[in-house]
Structure 1
Amino acid sequence: MTEHVWSYKSTAGHLAGTDLTGYTVEATDGGIGKVDKHSDEVGDAYLVVDTGVWIFGKEVLLPASTVVSIDPEERKVFVDRTMGQIKNAPEFHRAEHLTHPGYREELRTYYATRIPFGIPPA
């Protein structure tokens, strides 16, 4: 990726300070849940998504670079990954995501790799 994985793309339409909590998150092939938490911090922006029953009530962390657009009227965030790619991402660890450098690197590596749509990673 040419842009930092923990930063919103300039084309995503994200306005700093916008509260995305509660927004529905749409993968390229369907809804995955709602934003439970997010960070706008420069160089460390992300979404924590509550997947509800889709992945048995687990949460996933999506770096800001996965966001392709935000629709404030519909309260939706669109990301550039499939449901399978998100489901196969490293497991979210709420207690470690801010403090454990190895975990952050694992997430960065996974999401920095451009995977063709429709082909989940091995």
Structure 2
Amino acid sequence: MTGNIWSHRDTAGYRPGTDLTGFMVEAIDGTVGKVDKHSDEVDAAYLVVETGGWIFGKHVLLPAGVISSIDLDNTTLYVARTKDEIKNAPKFDKEKHIGDSEYHRKLTGYYGAPHS
């Protein structure tokens, strides 16, 4: 398993090149929403998740390292975080999230190292 929060875990079942857009996202304690955007850039992989109604339809950025497993057949991925952890994450900034090292440091500090 990689220790980089911005990389897919070796054990998550991610296949390079797989488009995760549209996959349902399941937190430890229930459904979070669906993937609106996905990047698998080396050491900068992430998901933008549209949370839907449970937290007023906002978008959140999740580093790929929080993905614990992916069910390709059922287009569902599972994250090793709770709904509250995701809900309380630093505000998503769609203008700054790509290539903004300060924003990535803030998210790295918030989510910490990958865990199961």
Q: TM-score, normalised by structure 1?
A: 0.89
Aligned to 1:57: 57
Aligned position for 1:110: 110
5+ long unaligned stretches in structure 2: none
Deviations 1:39-91 (A, max 9, x none): 01111101100011111110001100000000011100000000011111111
| 1:103 aligned counterpart, secondary structure | helix
CA distance in 1, matches of 2:43, 2:114: 19
CA contact (8 A) 2:12 2:70 kept: yes
The Cα of 1:114 is off from its aligned counterpart by: 7.0
Q: How do 1:4-23 residues align onto structure 2 when only pairs under 5 Å count?
A: 4-23=4-23
Equivalence map 1:1-122=2 (5 Å): 3-112=3-112
User: How far off its partner does 1:104 sit?
Assistant: 1.4
Q: Distance in 2 between matches of 1:19 and 1:56?
A: 26
Which residue type is aligned with residue 83 of structure 1?
A: K
Aligned length: 116
Distance in 2 separating the partners of 1:80 and 1:92: 19
Identical amino acids, percent of aligned pairs? 53
Runs of 4+ in 1 over 4 A off after TM superposition: none
Query: Shift of residue 113 of structure 1?
Result: 5.2
Unpaired runs of 5+ residues, structure 1, are 118-122
Amino acid at match of 1:57: G
TM-score (norm 2): 0.93
